[in-house]
Structure 1
């Protein structure tokens, strides 16, 4: 998915297409890393000085619900990034703990999970590796 697809999805689901939402989608798309709502607010307030944190957070949550964004939690803070939906395969992420640059990888540790309790059905999982990218090491 790209920004155009994200905006079309928003409209198809019956949500208003606004300049603020368009800018928010572009802000996230242009980053190749997880970003906080506070970082997004800082960028967006340059164009919309009266924009509130609550408005940003509500829209980020909506975009996550629609599958436009992915989230993770790092050091107690919820972070957002543009969904990797254009990669039509199962994958996970390696995340730099300094710059939050995110790299996809396809190797899945779930194939090595044994002894799942009887009667438990696994319906999904999330696996992330944290460390330092080559630029931050």
Structure 2
């Protein structure tokens, strides 16, 4: 009986593994922070519409998926300042955002920049391949 249940469950799992995700149903936002000597130990909190998503550390990269076309606000926060960027997201497109630390008087502040797809993809993949 147990063998019958296991054999019934296996084909479903195999089918699921073969299904590919259709990327036309969502937008991809690639957020990355290239390696810099300034602020090596600091991480910046990345937020979407004020909600914290993750901490972006030196030489790291993350991917977000957005499932509806709408303007969104992404921000990176340090102790002193917040850097914001507004994107008019369209489903099926890819966006590359670079986070660079900028040195202030007493602190290091993040700066978010929208990068063109060719340069952004190259920088993003270099970070992902390295890690």
**Of Structure 1 and Structure 2, which has the larger fraction of its residues in strand?**
2
Q: Which has the higher contact order (CA 8 A, sep 6+)?
A: 2
Q: Which has the larger radius of gyration?
A: 2
TM-score bracket for this pair, using the shorter chain length: under 0.3
- TM-score with structure 1 length normalisation? 0.25
